[in-house]
Amino acid sequence: MRGKLSRRAFAAGAAALLGAPAAVAAPASRQVETSLGRLDIPAAPQRVVAIDSRIGLEQALAFDLPLVGYSHSRARPWVPVPPGVPFLAAPPDLEQILMLAPDLILCPDSAPNSDWWPLARLPAITPVLPSDHRITWQENLTRLGDWLDQQEKAARIVAAHAKMIAAIRQRHRQAIASSLVAAVHYDAIKRRLLVRSAGTRYGLVMPAQVLAELGGLAVAAGWLGPNGEVALDSFGDVLGAVDAILLIDFGDGGPRALAREALWQRLPAVKAGRVETVAGNCTFGSLYTARYLARAWDALFARLPA
Amino acid sequence: MTGRMRSVLIAGFLLAAAMLASLLAGAKLLPPSSLLDLLQGRDSETAVILWQLRLPRLALGLVVGAALGAAGAIIQAATRNPLGDPGLLGINAGASLAVVTGSGLFGLAPTMTVWLASGGAALAALAVHAVAGAPRGPSAPIKLTLAGVAVTAFCLGIGQAIALADPERFDLVRNWRVGALSGDGLALLPAIALPLLMGVALAALLAPRLNLLALGEDRAAALGLSVGWTQAGSLLAVVLLAGAAVAAAGPIAFIGLAAPHIARRLGGADQRIVLPLAALVGAALVVVADTLGRVVVPPAELPVGIVAALIGAPVLATLARPRRSEA
């Protein structure tokens, strides 16, 4: 593939030198401006690696990019990964990625020198387009759409999601306006909750993003630990006023362990049966996770009086 | 009142203060009046916090601390090594590796890991003695300590390899590995009761013999003590006590080192006094370390193993410095 591209590039260059019209051959590459500087990326990528199975993988699938692998963690059930796309080593193995000969890599810019998101080392392999977990998934998607020259597709996806959100808002207008809600995950080993509100060190987490789109009211980060932690002792103080809870089940037995805690059972929302359990780690993601969470919030608000 | 009695009373008072602080301090600070809820059996949130969280945690801390303190006192007396500590001599690391292997790799139930921990502790203790070349004489303490460092490093390395091989499965024991009372360790109390009782009974039997051993192996033998059996019994007691403590709360360093030194300062050199006093001091140290860990970065907590290491490192440094009379 790389050879083909090179020959096309050579032909385009030769044609330009010979004075042929520029429109004769489609450009093989595009120049884009990212946080990594000015990059030449393939105009039509042929072999794409997503370093993170949350944002990057979902974005690649949204734009129908030809994936040759992804890393971090196995794709969640609600993300439609084609069967042949392999899950690579995690943390990513740069040699394995090099062997795949990608022509484009998608990688979060969360920690450029880390083992999990080695943004600083990946450009040595091939051009890298970064994503930023501190901005909304729509902004990330739109930005990637601009880089890939797929602005219309990005706009269509964002608009379709906005329509879905509007319909949920319409259904639960009263409950959304008058209720305090929380999306939580229980760490059974440390016996503490992690509340997925905006404003913690986790950045703009997906449950908080989608709730904000709906206009819902979440537990403020000021009540929580730096990572959104709530110790068992403080359940009543932090979640006592919460009307309904979205309980995120990572598949690690958290909800079962939580059900055994008397302080959880004492919470008004739990006593009233206003807890909706959502399967899978949906803390980060893009359009597919946003849709998944929109349905989960929809189900939670349906538990509240209209 | 004798000076020794006064020391024991001071230690008891400090332990009581630590216990009270442990009940009231945490992510949510409770007023002292909340203890009335506990006594009156009220169905309040405070009573639930005390009954379900603070009291079980306190009980676990007391048991684990007492076991580590007593184990440290026995090992220091039996090896006549002031640096003797189940942590420094590789015993905690051996128990830890056995638990990690059993529960992390083979998915064994926590109750099964108690005896596994004791087995790991025994193997590590034997390995340390073998690596040190069954040392005797004045150089024995340093040889045993160095061998302990080597065995600890080996056990930690294997544990890390297991962790890297299967991070998801290993996640189940990640918190325990650094020494923590926050988990469900209290559920293990019935399982660790038997090895603990056996260890305590053995320690009680050994205390007078350890007094003789303090005179030196040759003199003790001349006085009719079976040195080999006493040392083997001591090792068994340490393995039972430290193994049970590690199974319940993970490897907590320095308690076994510091508690006997403090106990000797308070109660003199008689092992019949030092052993129970070291258990008392060990319990107080673990409870204090756990309470500090709960209040320094709320609502997150520092595991007791980390706080104990932070407290223990200066203690070790102090012990390593020559006293004025030795300079």
What pLDDT, in 10s, does the model give residues A208-235? Answer: 999 999 999 999 988 898 899 999 989 9
For residue A40, the model assigns a pLDDT of 94
Instruction: Kindly state the tokens that stand for B55.
Output: 């009291």
Beta-strand relationship, A48-50 and A217-218: unpaired
Residue B173, pLDDT score: 66
Cis peptide before B82 (omega within 30 of 0): no
Would you call A237 and B28 a contact, using CB atoms and an 8 Å cutoff? Answer: yes
CB A117 within 8 Å of CB A91: no
Taking the CA of residue B304 and the nearest CA in chain A, the distance in Å comes to 12
Q: Give the per-residue pLDDT at B324.
A: 57
Which residue does chain B place closest to A267, by CA atoms? B45
Window from A100-104, B72-76, B106-110, B160-164 with minimum mean pLDDT: B106-110
Does the pLDDT value for residue A15 go beyond 60?
A: no
Look at chain A and count its residues. Answer: 306
Specify the length of chain B in residues.
Answer: 327
Considering only residues B189 and A155, tell me which one the structure prediction assigns the higher pLDDT. Answer: A155
Residue B176, burial from CB neighbour count under 10 angstroms (0-12, 13-18, 19+): buried
Q: Which residue has the higher pLDDT, A25 or B101?
A: B101
**Interatomic CA distance for residues B49 and B35, integer angstroms:** 11
Average pLDDT, chain B: 83
Q: How confident is the model at residue B137 (pLDDT cuts 50, 70, 90)?
A: low
The answer, yes or no, to whether residue A196 has pLDDT greater than 90, is yes
Q: In the predicted model, what is the mean pLDDT of chain A?
A: 90
Q: How many CB atoms lie within 10 A of CB A133?
A: 21
pLDDT band at B276 (very low <50, low <70, confident <90, very high): very high
Which of B172, B298, B300 is opposite residue A189, by nearest beta carbon?
B172
Nearest to B27 among A234, A261, A262 (CB): A234
Of B49, B183, B184, the CB nearest to A263: B49
Query: How many C-alpha atoms does B194 have within 13 Å on its Cβ side?
Result: 6
Cα dihedral A143/A148/A150/A154 (nearest 10): -30
| pLDDT (mean) for A230-259 | 93
What is the number of CB-based contacts under 8 A between chain A and chain B? 55
Higher pLDDT, A46 or B326: A46
- Confidence class of residue A27 from pLDDT cuts 50, 70 and 90? low
Q: With bands split at pLDDT 50, 70 and 90, how would you rate the model's confidence at A19?
A: very low
Tokens of A39: 């990059």
User: Is A263–B52 a contact, with Cβ atoms under 8 angstroms apart?
Assistant: yes
What band does A252 get if pLDDT is binned at 50, 70 and 90?
A: confident
**Token duo for residue A290:** 């946003």
At B81-103, the pLDDT tens digits run 887 888 777 888 888 888 888 87
Would the pLDDT of A2 be above 50?
no
Q: How far apart are CA A264 and CA A271, in angstroms?
A: 9
Closest CA to A234 of B194, B273, B48, B185: B48
Interface of B with A (CB under 8 A): 26-28, 45, 48-49, 52-53, 171-172, 174-176, 180, 182-184, 298-301
pLDDT score of A54 more than 70: yes
pLDDT in tens, B232-263: 888 889 889 988 898 888 888 889 988 998 88
pTM of the complete model: 0.78
Residue A166 is predicted with a pLDDT of 97
Neighbours of B121 (CB within 10 A): 33
Integer Cα distance of B210 and A249 in angstroms:
54
Q: Do B27 and A226 touch (CB under 8 A)?
A: no
Mean pLDDT, rounded, for B49-63: 90
Q: Name the 3-class secondary structure at A50.
A: strand
DSSP state letter for A63: T
Look at residues B28, B23, B32, B92 and name the one whose alpha carbon lies nearest to residue B287: B23
Q: Are B18 and B288 in contact (CB under 8 A)?
A: yes
Cα torsion through B286, B289, B295, B299, rounded to 10: -70
Cα A225-A131-A153 angle, rounded to 5 deg: 125
What distances in angstroms separate CA B36 from CA A235, B13, B15, B44, B244, one per listed residue? 21, 21, 21, 11, 33
Mean of pLDDT values over B294-318 = 83
What band does A154 get if pLDDT is binned at 50, 70 and 90? very high
- Residue B202: name the closest of B226, B228, B225, B231 by CA: B231
- Nearest-10 Cα torsion for A114, A119, A121, A124: 170
Is B183 in contact with A263 (Cβ distance < 8 A)?
no
Max avg pLDDT among A86-100, B165-179, B210-224: A86-100
**Measured distance CA(B248)–CA(B55) in Å, rounded:** 16
Instruction: Identify each DSSP E strand in chain A by its residue range.
Output: 29-34, 37-42, 48-50, 67-70, 104-108, 128-131, 180-187, 192-195, 217-218, 229-231, 244-249, 275-279
Name which residue leads in pLDDT, B317 or B69: B69
**Nearest residue, CB atoms, A230 vs list B174, B175, B299:** B299
Contact B300 A224 (CB under 8 A): no
The yes-or-no verdict on residue A273 having pLDDT over 70 is: yes
Q: What's the pLDDT at A265? A: 95
Backbone CA torsion sign across B101, B103, B108, B110: positive
Query: For residues A204 and A132, what is the distance between their CA atoms, to the nearest angstrom?
Result: 9
pLDDT of residue B184: 66
**Chain B CB contacts of A227 below 8 Å:** 300
The confidence band for A24, taking pLDDT boundaries of 50, 70 and 90, is: very low
Question: Cβ of B183 and A190 within 8 Å?
Answer: yes
Work out the pLDDT band at A165, boundaries 50, 70, 90: very high
Distance of CA B257 to the CA centre of its chain: 9
Q: What is the pLDDT of residue B311?
A: 83
- Name the closest residue on chain B to residue A222, using Cα atoms: B299
What percent of chain B lies above the pLDDT cut of 70?
89
> Which residues in chain A are contacts of B26 at CB distance < 8 A?
231, 233
Helices (H), chain B: 3-24, 34-40, 45-48, 55-79, 91-99, 110-132, 140-165, 167-170, 174-177, 189-213, 217-222, 227-249, 255-267, 271-295, 304-320
H/E stretch holding A144 reads helix A137-148
